A and B are shown apart, each in its own frame.
Chain A
Amino acid sequence: MNYPDVSRPFLSERTAVRRAVHRSAAIAGLCMLSVLPVSEVDIPGTPLSLSLLNAAWSQPVELSALDNLTRGNELLLRGSYLGAIEAFNSVREDAWREQAALGLSKAMAMTGQYDQAIAAVRALVRDPADTPLVATQLAELYRMTGRSAEAQELLAEVVAGQMNPPVRTLVQYGLVLDLRGELDAAAVQYTAALARYDSGLVFDSADVGMVALAAWQLDEFHDANALFAEAVRLDSNNLEALTLWGDLFQEKFNDADAETNYNLALTINRRYTPALTGMARISSPERYLAMSLEVNSRDVATLETYGLLMVRNYQQDVGRDYLDRALAVNPESVTALSSLAALAAINDDMPAFDALLQRVNAFSPESSDFFASVADYLGNNYRFTEAVAYARRAIARDPNNWHAHTVLGGNLVRLGEELEGKQHLEMAFDNDPFNVMTSNMLQVFDVLEGYATLETEHFRANMSHRDAQVLWPYMAPLLEESWATLVEKYQFEPEVPVLIQVFERTEDFAVRSVGLPDIGPLVGICFGKVVTLISPDTLSANWQEILWHELVHVFTLQMTQNRMPRWLSEGISTWEERQARPEWGRRLGLELVRAVEQGQLLPVSNLNEGFTGANSNADLSFAYFQSYLVVEYIAEQYGFEKLHELILEYAHIRDESEMFANVFEMDMVSFDNGFRDWIQQRVDQINVYVHVEDSDDEGAGHGHGVRENNSAVLAELYNNESLKQHMRGRVEQQPRDFQAHLQLGIVLFREAAYDEAIFHLQTAQGILPDYSGYPSPSLVLSQIYEAQGNNEAMMEQLAVMLQNQQHDYASALKLAEAALEAGDTGQADYYLSRALAVDPYQPQIHRSGAQLAQQLGDTGRAVQEFEVLVMLDQSDPVDARTNLAGAYLDNQQLDQARLTVLRALETAPGYQRAQDILLRAVERSGQPSEVITQP
């Protein structure tokens, strides 16, 4: 097990949930299982616990009080809480009464019987200083049940009345003071606990675990880690230390080590709710939370975690219910109160927010954690401006709240306020260098420092120097084209400049976007004013479509102050793809028919669940698809104006059904019915048979990228005869079975039965003329014609394919080269642009582009192409530079021509073509070429 390592980033998709509850979980009741050491009485030759458990099962045996106490502790440790309660209740002797009461109280608390747990110890606390451990247990229960004032009073008495109060008392006192906003006083208690350890007076595992917790609270993470390790070494059954240690790992985004710890705890006690809740924050949340609630239906940390999970999954009502249940047990749960406050803030319900804030202020005035938590939630929901405001408030209250600095820094960055954002991230990192998220975000700043900054009228871009040279010449005009198109269409001008950041490494893109290095299939993200993208150099998809998609988000998000739900924002962006270029966007075909037949379509009111509940890339891709369908439906049936109206509705805080009623004059159910009718009409029009044995086409990047027809790809692996027989049977039964025709065509092509293959492929093409998957009928047809030597027909089919398939640069280049050869500069230009839209890093595209430019006499364009080639064509830099110098010369850029050709001649001084360009450049710039420097 390792200390949290800043270089080992781990992802949890539920970081927001984790962040909000981990520390409250750490301090709110994990102590329930610090089993008292009563095992000094040993039975030689027999493990005590085993002998006692055996004794318990073998009736009838009269056990002593000590036996019952030991048995109770063992049962408590193993999670047999009812058995433990029974055992502790059996202890009657005064000598063991205090310890039995402590055990009883803990067992009852573990099962949610908090009143009984309090009653079990309260009677023993007459003078708290005389019974410090019992008093501390009582105070912990008070804190867990929202009675922090009483807890504070009780602990204060113990600390005041004892020369050396127990370590546990000191730390628990510190936690109560922290909760109540007395941060300096809390630090005094933590420091005292650490001082006790430093003086060599802490030996017990449970106490060492408490000292570790104190170190954690003082942000001494190294010490906390070492102390937790020591506590577990002293007693490997110290569940409290194991779980708190796991929480520490989790706070630093080290899920792997956290999971190890939780699992170790659960191996000892599979009903230990703090470990179950910890696991829930890492994986299979519902399973672990259900297990935890089965043990203790009133466990506050579990209820908080469940609530946040539901809220995150857009089940706000269910989430609120869990949070309310947590508050019913502990009205002072900052996590629950701040989560509800965040919901109020996101719905602009400020009276509700203020009421919740007042409740917090009643026990913890101006709680820094409260504001940081609200800020985090708002930031994760694209409300960056408000997130920044609340994070600032958190820092104003507690300048040492490093989490708040991270939240503030991250959200400032998303607003494009890079400088200040970086300052806060650096401050957080300096004081908490083990927070992987902070560290990762700062590392991306280092990456950005090596990037070029480029500008157009409305955009500023950061990208690598390679991309600046290769990508930017083609990106810049597209950016401004999008601006002009979308401003006119949406009658809205976003704030400028819009920041575009293009990352060469997927990990950097992910960290910049979400703070952690794994972001799944996403290839671009828009934050409203900032767009982050993966460099097309690492994609095999149409980067222009992706960029356009994200730029549409800039408009829709800013038009609604980032209040637009994800489904509609994605739906509009996907719909706009096709509006921008005919070959972009989605095709309605097999996917739609299959979705309808399988009943996959979600009600419009639940579309966000398609995103939040996606368990796979395919789920996410389908969520984009259905959102797009709804927007297509609106645009087609009601017109763009209604779509525009709907967007503007989201700028206000209203119920979604009210917005739909305002725009469409119908309720959501009626709208949904209309949508489904429209879909059915589309399905009828498409009129394709979808066989149950065929699978969906699969693509990367949630729809951006080639979608592979797995059935057809697999066809190549099948036995030809049996496949043919099977597919012929399918075609006979269902003449409009597209897949069967396509697969037959592929198999017959492989057998060189070209005529029959062409028949089936043309039939497939007729059924779904705009099919865009890979392989498509047109692609296979082109291959057949190529095999037959029919170049013209081959090119014709490639052109057909490219009408619907936008991710194939090679075919586009082939068509461009053919057009160049035929002198058709228009077609050459078109197909080169198609190739560039997919892979601008292919030198051959630019060589052809330069050739075209020279044919057109477009010297500026020739320069651009040769400039790119200097970057891309590393195999012959001398020639690349010489070509560029020649292009500069033709374009009257004499100084650039000289400088460039000098670099070529530096390597190859005898290269006469370069020498000639140098002399011509010198002559044209008016300098004498007969410079003789040597005899």
Chain B
Amino acid sequence: MMRAYQLLVVLMLVCCGSVFAQTEQAVSQPGSGSGSGSGFGSGSEDTPWFQQTPENNKFALIIVGASANDEIRSRLRAWVTDLHASLREDYGYDSDAIELLIDDGSNVGNAASIVSGGSRVADIEAAIERIRSRSEAGDQLTVFLFGHGSSTFGDAKFNNVGPDMTGSELADMLSPLTGIDMVMFNTTSASFEFSRELAGLGRVVVSATRSAAERYDPLFGGFLVAALQQKRADIDRNARVSVLEAFNYASGQVAQWYRDQDRLSTENAVLDDSGDGLFTREPGTGQPDGLLAEIAYINVISAGTQKTSAEALRLSAEMQSIEREIFILRNQKVNYLEEDYWNRLEALLIDLATRTRRYNELP
């Protein structure tokens, strides 16, 4: 309960969801940022995460493990090359901010120009070190894991080329990235136990499966890439895709696929962003997880072009203020009578729409 309240406060502070937030300096960051769960001392729970501004960088680490056969290899490569392209074209990542690690790094065909190296444990360590050397507190790293996982014998593992990697090993490798906001997408089979090792306060961790028993290759990875491409998952039309939106889109598509095939689903994606390692299948409002994922955006924030007249600046500030009120009202929906809620919301939305129209008319 305490944790949920604190996150709500965070949400209120960071003006989540505003189309204008990306052009504004966010509320000053009181803490030094996030890191692995073990790095937090007393009081660090108050630290707000995912408050990137145009001054912050965003990095992506895409790790593709060993493939069981050529067909899977082709499929995974198609996904990650699409993902690489989408991160650059749709989300504003520089090419050198994306580390794409595949197999042993060689024989990668058309992807040679974008591949940074292999995905052996040493390669991953090297890539993380490269990111660490270029990043600062407040930056964001999103890790994507594609391939096979297993958790049948002992520790849950990601099947690399060479010795397999456990979740705790990856967590250790990421621990030097203090102050960096982190998002993990583990799309492998039997990804759950591995993902649990990565959970920590201030991190958003997504697992394509919810138990070790879900050991068939998940479809989630493909639908995640589709969610990100052309910002398909941007459900709130703010031109940005949050981790929650991407999760909801991809898991929804997975469920639909199994329904269409009239088959029982062998995968159920889950998300944890409270750091307790207890994952949620339907994160979001009223759930233990989802509030942080809602404000964790994939997009790199750019300064953009701003209207500079005094009226434009005033309207912009007012619009942000109204949006903030809308979010607060929405999060407190259960506290209102139905009619009262919609009346209040309509008033705010009319207000916002009116000011937006006027803002757009300004030179």
Binding site for B on A (CB under 8 A): 874-878, 898-899, 902, 905-912, 914-916, 918-919, 922, 929-935
Asked whether B237 lies within 8 Å of A874 as measured between CB atoms, the reply is no
Asked whether A919 lies within 8 Å of B322 as measured between CB atoms, the reply is no
Asked whether B357 lies within 8 Å of A915 as measured between CB atoms, the reply is yes
Cα-based distance from A911 to B231 in the complex (angstroms): 14
Asked whether B349 lies within 8 Å of A915 as measured between CB atoms, the reply is yes
Q: Which residue of B lies closest to A909 (CB)?
A: B326
Question: B330: CB under 8 A from chain A?
Answer: yes
Cα-based distance from A918 to B342 in the complex (angstroms): 13
Asked whether A876 lies within 8 Å of B235 as measured between CB atoms, the reply is yes
Mask for B243-278, Cβ within 8 A of A = 1, else 0? Answer: 000000100110010000000000000000000000
Question: B356: CB under 8 A from chain A?
Answer: yes
Asked whether B354 lies within 8 Å of A929 as measured between CB atoms, the reply is yes
Asked whether A912 lies within 8 Å of B356 as measured between CB atoms, the reply is yes
Q: How far is the CB of A705 from chain B (nearest CB, A)?
A: 15
In the complex, chain A residues whose CB is within 8 Å of the CB of B348: 909, 933-934
Cα-based distance from A660 to B9 in the complex (angstroms): 85
Q: Which residue of A lies closest to B238 (CB)?
A: A910
Cα-based distance from A930 to B352 in the complex (angstroms): 10
Asked whether A902 lies within 8 Å of B349 as measured between CB atoms, the reply is yes
Partner of A902, one of B232, B342, B354: B342
Partner of A908, one of B235, B325, B351, B360: B235
With A875-B252, A909-B236, A915-B356 as contacts: A902 and B346 at CB distance below 8 Å: yes
Given contacts A910-B236, A911-B236, 6 further A-B contacts (CB under 8 A): A875-B232, A875-B252, A878-B236, A907-B236, A929-B353, A933-B347
Q: Which residue of A lies closest to B234 (CB)?
A: A908
Question: B159: CB under 8 A from chain A?
Answer: no
With A909-B326, A934-B321, A934-B325 as contacts: A919 and B17 at CB distance below 8 Å: no
Main secondary structure of the interface of B (DSSP, over half): helix
Asked whether A908 lies within 8 Å of B354 as measured between CB atoms, the reply is no
Asked whether A908 lies within 8 Å of B237 as measured between CB atoms, the reply is yes
Partner of A909, one of B321, B323, B347, B354: B323
A–B Cβ pairs within 8 angstroms, 5 of them: A899-B342, A910-B17, A915-B356, A918-B350, A933-B322
Asked whether B237 lies within 8 Å of A911 as measured between CB atoms, the reply is yes
In the complex, chain B residues whose CB is within 8 Å of the CB of A902: 342, 345-346, 349
Asked whether B236 lies within 8 Å of A908 as measured between CB atoms, the reply is yes
Cα-based distance from A915 to B352 in the complex (angstroms): 8
Asked whether A919 lies within 8 Å of B347 as measured between CB atoms, the reply is no
Q: How far is the CB of B41 from chain A (nearest CB, A)?
A: 37
Asked whether A908 lies within 8 Å of B321 as measured between CB atoms, the reply is no
Q: Which residue of A lies closest to B355 (CB)?
A: A932
With A877-B235, A878-B235, A915-B357 as contacts: A910 and B323 at CB distance below 8 Å: yes
Interface residues of B in 137-164 (CB under 8 A from A): none
Cα-based distance from A915 to B326 in the complex (angstroms): 14
Binding site for A on B (CB under 8 A): 17-19, 232, 235-238, 249, 252-253, 256, 318, 321-323, 325-326, 330, 342, 345-354, 356-357, 360
Q: How far is the CB of A192 from chain B (nearest CB, A)?
A: 53
In the complex, chain B residues whose CB is within 8 Å of the CB of A878: 235-237
In the complex, chain B residues whose CB is within 8 Å of the CB of A911: 236-238
In the complex, chain A residues whose CB is within 8 Å of the CB of B357: 915-916, 919
Cα-based distance from A929 to B237 in the complex (angstroms): 22
Q: Which 8 A-B pairs have the closest CB atoms?
A: A915-B353, A911-B237, A908-B236, A908-B237, A910-B19, A931-B350, A909-B326, A905-B349
In the complex, chain B residues whose CB is within 8 Å of the CB of A932: 351, 354
In the complex, chain A residues whose CB is within 8 Å of the CB of B252: 874-875
Cα-based distance from A919 to B352 in the complex (angstroms): 10
Q: How far is the CB of B20 from chain A (nearest CB, A)?
A: 8
In the complex, chain B residues whose CB is within 8 Å of the CB of A933: 322, 347-348, 351
In the complex, chain A residues whose CB is within 8 Å of the CB of B330: 906
Q: How far is the CB of B346 from chain A (nearest CB, A)?
A: 6
Cα-based distance from A178 to B256 in the complex (angstroms): 58
In the complex, chain A residues whose CB is within 8 Å of the CB of B342: 899, 902
Asked whether A907 lies within 8 Å of B353 as measured between CB atoms, the reply is no
With A915-B353, A918-B350, A918-B353 as contacts: A934 and B249 at CB distance below 8 Å: no
Cα-based distance from A919 to B354 in the complex (angstroms): 7
Q: How far is the CB of B328 from chain A (nearest CB, A)?
A: 12
In the complex, chain B residues whose CB is within 8 Å of the CB of A910: 17-19, 236-238, 323, 352, 356
Q: Which residue of B lies closest to A879 (CB)?
A: B237
In the complex, chain A residues whose CB is within 8 Å of the CB of B353: 905, 915-916, 918-919, 929
Asked whether B318 lies within 8 Å of A934 as measured between CB atoms, the reply is yes
Cα-based distance from A931 to B350 in the complex (angstroms): 7
With A875-B249, A932-B354 as contacts: A908 and B238 at CB distance below 8 Å: yes
Q: Which residue of A lies closest to B348 (CB)?
A: A933
Q: Which residue of A lies closest to B239 (CB)?
A: A910
Cα-based distance from A922 to B237 in the complex (angstroms): 22
Cα-based distance from A877 to B249 in the complex (angstroms): 11
With A875-B253, A909-B323, A910-B18 as contacts: A919 and B350 at CB distance below 8 Å: yes
Asked whether A898 lies within 8 Å of B356 as measured between CB atoms, the reply is no
Q: Which residue of B lies closest to A932 (CB)?
A: B351
Q: How far is the CB of A907 from chain B (nearest CB, A)?
A: 5
Q: How far is the CB of B343 from chain A (nearest CB, A)?
A: 10
